[in-house]
């Protein structure tokens, strides 16, 4: 749906929801709007545009510019239409001779202190100030430019993505309000008064030195060229736009990709996007340059051994070579000797095809996905307790929440647009409980403070959840009616006996949790009695040896307090990658067909067997860790890895490297030669999200369209490559468009029966289940009953992890993400986002640092029982004594060289969040880092020799 570029419609002030409506007359037209609506918005809804400068419908009205004045019968003067609410029978005049003159006078004052360089201005033709001057018929400026003015005010070009040209500022304060209301960062202020008023970042700092997180909300809100994207300064106004979905995190923001020809000149967050409602973060908004980075490999390559140079070949040869190698391996080592890993960055349609290729083409079920190493415990835990492997709410539900519990999740860094929504609700007065070993931003942000921060010891999540449930039960704070009506009563009885045992009391668990018992009691009481309570959790819950148990503990807490099945409550896993929900939905796990249906179910198998015309193996295949172990044992020999960088992202790097090196044929499909591809024999060039059609499914189960805005640089979209490989392996696939793949998914998957590209075009996005019972999708799940029928209180015995601090490894390392970088960093490291996070560092508490003689910026060696690496120290009180923290965005940091292969008992999700380590001052990189650097150099040479001059 390519459209000529038009700015998004703006009604001037936000929409109001009210059961009461009001009718009034505007320029002789009768208009009916919800009570509380502004006169400006009512006029806009009637098709009457009142001129404005300081108002925009993403922000509360402010009433500073006075350009929007109107006449209202019976009211004195000329009220501002943006701040005047409608009244029944009001009679409004927006266009009179008097108003025209007054508005022109106001405009004249603005223009007298504004450069008249429209023809050479970067936003010429896309500027509200210019448009408004035109609408008002301004023909002269009587005041001249000789007096005091701001025309020579300096530019701030410190931010790599946008420029602040103060000479063009009209001090409408839209930017300041956007930073406060939309983003919640409070980085901007208006300094000075009257004529001296100016916009300032921080304490009169450059944007890059201030608290600014580069979300771009101020840039979007600015009605002039004062805040402008550098791409617009460089390329000019876009010509057309296409609505698509961000390819970074699980929030799934909708964007208008704005283009000149096939060059993206701006990504504007889409107002109608239900996940983001016009907001975005620095990644989706600005970090799209990786898609056309010079490191993109756009031709297929093959080599017989990883010590040989790559050879560029045709698609035909690469596909033929792969199919032949895979068939030879299967012939020699058996059907189960090959498998695939699907990508949570690729579309649903692409993931579906990879699992189909494995089941129908390879003839086994050796398919797994990155969710194995992130949210597989969510799948297990929520399916067991509630009956469905997905979050229960839509993001907007948080606006109805009274108590928010955030556990092992750092929304302002990892899910920033949801983080902004959450902060807004907290500023409105909702209470906040944070459970995290580290003081994340939400604990103490501008105008947001956690009521309780339970700084749990890494590895003790289940203990803390049990202790909370114990307090609620023993103090009689549970919701008996909900439990009686909605939950399995025999199971609840058993659980009740289990949880009220004194061994689960906060006092008994105080040493394990590290949280004072009285604080924990107070937090549990708030959760149970504070009104609508919602839980948002992340990888700090799942990536543990008891990850699945903790997810079940979370579901227990929600059911226990009756907080499931309506707006404002629920259990919400914050999904990491853009399509990790979708990749799980599409049958990427070795034991499940699409829609989370177990392979052992013969009737489900038959459905697929009929559609695919094959017989399916009823035995679950290998999970990723099993594939690697089996590769080292010599049984697993061939792997097709699409859009996943296991060599960097999976734990115990040296083990993974050994497994990859042992493979006879590793096929990597990606846009860059990532760490895994350095061990590959076949490289199939991938396509970025801008180069293909398809869908992503976000953390709210929202299926959103991904639309092609430029041709695929390698000539094929990812789904076409899998299709061609399947055909070459004798597994027929005849799709000519991804919509046909979605039609097949819908035919075979009950929760997707109602999904089609036509419906997605009509509705914009759809939350599954979407079928005959829920034709437009399902924003809130488990409304009248749980998907499994009765809610199941699972017994959640706390078992301490084997990974404990001891004399040799006295500190516990935990890991997480940072806002500007994304996962393995392959995309964001190739953008200006690296200005914010050029390297991973080790956060260490001042006490632990001092004990080791470590000062800020020192190189420190981090030794675990499986490996060691070297990072720079960052002394911080965000972590408590005994805990150290790092991110994992740079390959040479080697964060995963030290993480162990401990894993969740139910799903094998690795225990990334707890590694016992020792930290010491050192003076040189680790032996692994030195070896890796050498290996990287060699692989780069082998690549360079294949690239055209
Ligand atoms: S920078 Fe833009 S939005 Fe901010 S006050 Fe100036 S003109 Fe208004
Ligand atoms: S980019 Fe975002 S964080 Fe930075 S000043 Fe603008 S609104 Fe605030
Ligand atoms: S919050 Fe996530 S989906 Fe939204 S723009 Fe940022 S990275 Fe993209
Ligand atoms: S738009 Fe109403 S006062 Fe500025």
pLDDT of residue 2: 59
| Mean pLDDT on 16-27 | 95
* pLDDT range class, residue 140, cuts 50, 70, 90: confident
pLDDT of residue 279: 98
| Mean pLDDT on 727-752 | 97
pLDDT of residue 148: 66
Share of the chain above pLDDT 90, in %: 83
Q: Is 622 in the pocket of ligand 2 (CB under 6 A)?
A: no
- Ligand 3 pocket mutation, candidates 182, 216, 253, 285, criterion most atoms within 8 A of CB: 253
Q: At what angle do helices 128-136 and 97-111 cross, to 10 degrees?
A: 140
> Closest by alpha carbon to 374, among 911, 798, 895?
911
5 has pLDDT over 90: no
pLDDT of residue 650: 86
4 has pLDDT over 80: no
Coil, helix or strand at residue 626: helix
* pLDDT range class, residue 874, cuts 50, 70, 90: very high
Q: Is 217 in the pocket of ligand 2 (CB under 6 A)?
A: yes
| Mean pLDDT on 878-896 | 89
Integer CA distances (angstroms), 886 to 27, 301, 683, 873, 879, in order: 61, 35, 31, 10, 11
All residues at 6 or more sequence positions from 497 whose CB lies less than 8 Å from its CB, including other chains:
none
- Which atom of ligand 1 approaches the CA of 164 most closely? 1
Tell whether pTM > 0.85.
yes
Q: Is 703 in the pocket of ligand 3 (CB under 6 A)?
A: no
* pLDDT range class, residue 154, cuts 50, 70, 90: confident
141 has pLDDT over 90: no
Q: Is 65 in the pocket of ligand 4 (CB under 6 A)?
A: yes
Distance of CA 219 from the midpoint of ligand 2 (Å): 8
Q: What is the rounded CA–CA span in Å between residue 565 and residue 783?
A: 4
Q: Is 251 in the pocket of ligand 3 (CB under 6 A)?
A: yes
- Cβ contact 394:672 at 8 Å: no
150 has pLDDT over 80: no
pLDDT of residue 568: 97
Distance of CA 356 from the midpoint of ligand 3 (Å): 29
193 has pLDDT over 90: no
| Mean pLDDT on 885-909 | 86
892 has pLDDT over 90: no
Residues 65-95: b if buried by 16+ CB within 10 A, e if exposed:
bbbbbbbbeeeeebbbbbbbbbeeebebebe
pLDDT of residue 893: 86
Distance of CA 247 from the midpoint of ligand 2 (Å): 21
Q: Which tens digits make up the pLDDT trace of 674-704?
A: 999 999 999 999 999 999 999 999 999 999 9
Distance of CA 717 from the midpoint of ligand 2 (Å): 35
- Which atom of ligand 2 approaches the CA of 162 most closely? 1
915 has pLDDT over 80: yes
> Closest by alpha carbon to 306, among 668, 632, 721, 670?
668
Integer CA distances (angstroms), 368 to 298, 323, 343, 648, 840, in order: 26, 20, 9, 17, 28
Q: Which tens digits make up the pLDDT trace of 337-366?
A: 999 999 999 999 999 999 999 999 999 999
| Mean pLDDT on 431-453 | 96
- Cβ contact 386:555 at 8 Å: yes
Q: Is 284 in the pocket of ligand 3 (CB under 6 A)?
A: yes
* pLDDT range class, residue 492, cuts 50, 70, 90: very high
pLDDT of residue 898: 86
Tell me what the pLDDT averaged over the chain comes to: 94
Chain-centre distance for alpha carbon 846: 32
pLDDT of residue 888: 85
| Mean pLDDT on 208-228 | 96
147 has pLDDT over 70: no
- Cβ contact 845:879 at 8 Å: yes
pLDDT of residue 144: 63
| Mean pLDDT on 714-738 | 97
Closest residue to atom 3 of ligand 1, CA basis: 222
Share of the chain above pLDDT 70, in %: 99
Most confident of 33-47, 143-157, 825-839: 33-47
Closest residue to atom 7 of ligand 2, CA basis: 179
């Amino acid at each position: 749906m390519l459209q000529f570029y038009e700015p998004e419609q703006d009604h001037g002030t936000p929409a109001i929801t009210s059961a009461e409506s009001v009718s009034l007359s505007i320029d002789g037209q009768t208009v009916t709007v919800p009570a509380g609506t502004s006169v400006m918005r009512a006029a806009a809804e009637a098709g009457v545009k009142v001129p404005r400068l300081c108002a925009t419908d993403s922000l509360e009205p402010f009433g500073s510019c006075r350009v929007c004045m109107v006449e209202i019968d019976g009211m004195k003067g000329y009220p501002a239409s943006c701040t005047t609410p409608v009244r029944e029978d009001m009679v409004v005049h927006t266009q009179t001779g008097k108003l025209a003159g007054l508005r022109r006078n106001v405009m004249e004052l603005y223009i007298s202190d504004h450069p008249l360089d429209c023809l050479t201005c970067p936003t010429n033709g896309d500027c509200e100030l210019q448009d408004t001057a035109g609408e008002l018929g301004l023909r002269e400026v009587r005041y001249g430019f000789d007096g005091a003015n701001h025309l020579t005010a300096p530019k701030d070009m410190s931010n790599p993505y946008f420029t602040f040209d103060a000479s063009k500022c009209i001090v409408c304060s839209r930017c300041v309000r956007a930073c406060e209301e939309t983003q919640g960062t409070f980085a901007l202020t208006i300094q000075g008064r009257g004529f001296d008023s100016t916009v300032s970042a921080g304490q009169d700092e450059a944007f890059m030195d201030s608290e600014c997180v580069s979300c771009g909300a101020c840039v979007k809100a600015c009605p002039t060229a004062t805040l402008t994207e550098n791409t617009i300064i460089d390329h000019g106004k876009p010509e057309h736009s296409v609505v698509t979905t961000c390819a970074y995190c699980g929030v799934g923001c909708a964007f208008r990709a704005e283009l000149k020809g096939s060059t993206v000149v701006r990504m504007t967050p889409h107002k109608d996007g239900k996940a983001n409602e016009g907001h975005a973060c620095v990644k989706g908004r600005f970090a799209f340059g990786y898609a056309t980075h010079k490191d993109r490999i756009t031709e297929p390559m093959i080599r017989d051994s990883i010590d040989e140079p790559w050879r560029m070949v045709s698609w035909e040869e690469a596909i033929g070579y792969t199919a032949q190698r895979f068939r030879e391996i299967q012939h020699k080592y058996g059907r189960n000797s090959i498998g695939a890993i699907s990508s949570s960055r690729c579309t649903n349609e692409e993931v579906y095809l990879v699992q189909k290729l494995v089941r129908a083409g390879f003839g086994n079920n050796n398919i797994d996905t990155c969710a194995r190493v992130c949210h597989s415990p969510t799948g297990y835990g929520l399916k067991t307790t509630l009956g469905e492997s997905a979050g229960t709410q839509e993001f907007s539900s948080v606006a109805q929440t009274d108590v928010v519990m955030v556990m092992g999740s750092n929304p302002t860094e990892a899910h920033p647009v949801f983080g902004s929504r959450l902060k807004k609700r907290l500023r409105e007065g909702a209470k906040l409980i944070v459970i995290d070993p580290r003081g994340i931003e939400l604990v103490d942000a501008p105008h947001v403070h956690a009521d309780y921060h339970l700084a749990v010891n890494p590895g003790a999540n289940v203990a803390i959840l049990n202790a909370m449930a114990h307090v609620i039960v023993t103090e009689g704070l549970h919701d008996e009616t909900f439990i009686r009506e909605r939950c399995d009563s025999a199971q609840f009885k058993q659980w009740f006996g289990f949880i009220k045992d004194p061994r689960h009391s906060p006092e008994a668990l105080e040493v394990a949790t590290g949280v004072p018992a009285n604080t924990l009691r107070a937090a549990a009481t708030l959760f149970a009695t504070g009104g609508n309570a919602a839980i948002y959790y992340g990888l700090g819950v799942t990536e543990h040896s008891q990850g699945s148990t903790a997810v079940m503990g979370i579901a227990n807490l929600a059911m226990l307090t009756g907080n499931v099945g309506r707006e404002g409550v629920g259990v919400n896993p914050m999904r990491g990658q853009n399509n990790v929900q979708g990749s799980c939905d599409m049958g990427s796990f070795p034991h499940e067909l699409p829609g989370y249906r177990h392979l052992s179910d013969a009737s489900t198998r038959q459905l697929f067997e009929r559609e695919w015309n094959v017989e399916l193996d009823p035995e679950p295949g290998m999970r990723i860790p099993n594939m690697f172990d089996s590769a080292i044992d010599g049984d697993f020999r061939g792997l097709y890895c699409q859009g996943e960088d296991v060599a960097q992202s999976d734990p115990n790097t040296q083990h993974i490297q050994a497994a990859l090196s042992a493979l006879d044929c590793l096929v990597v499909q990606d846009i860059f030669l990532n760490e895994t591809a350095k061990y590959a024999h076949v490289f199939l060039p991938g396509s970025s999200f801008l180069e293909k059609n398809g869908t992503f499914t976000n953390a709210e189960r929202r299926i959103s369209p991904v639309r092609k805005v430029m041709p695929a640089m390698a000539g094929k979209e990812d789904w076409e490559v899998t299709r061609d490989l399947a055909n070459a392996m004798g597994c027929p696939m005849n799709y000519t468009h991804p919509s046909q793949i979605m039609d097949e998914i819908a035919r075979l998957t009950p929760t997707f029966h109602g999904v089609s590209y036509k419906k997605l075009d009509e509705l914009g996005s759809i939350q599954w289940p979407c079928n005959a019972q829920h034709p437009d999708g399902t924003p809130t799940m488990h409304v009248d009953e749980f998907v499994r029928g009765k809610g199941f209180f699972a017994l959640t015995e706390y078992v301490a992890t084997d990974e404990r601090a001891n004399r040799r490894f006295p500190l516990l390392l935990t890991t997480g993400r940072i806002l500007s970088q994304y996962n393995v960093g392959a995309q964001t490291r190739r953008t200006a986002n690296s200005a914010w996070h050029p390297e991973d560092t080790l956060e260490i508490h001042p006490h632990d640092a001092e004990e080791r003689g470590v000062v800020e910026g020192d190189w420190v060696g981090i030794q675990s029982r499986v490996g060691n690496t070297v990072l720079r120290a960052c002394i911080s009180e965000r972590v408590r004594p005994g805990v150290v923290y790092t991110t994992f965005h740079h390959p040479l940091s080697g964060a995963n060289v030290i993480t162990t292969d401990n894993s969740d008992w139910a799903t094998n999700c690795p225990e990334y969040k707890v590694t016992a380590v020792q930290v010491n001052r050192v003076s040189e990189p680790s032996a692994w880092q030195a070896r890796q650097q050498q290996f990287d150099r060699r692989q780069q040479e082998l690549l360079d020799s294949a690239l055209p001059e």
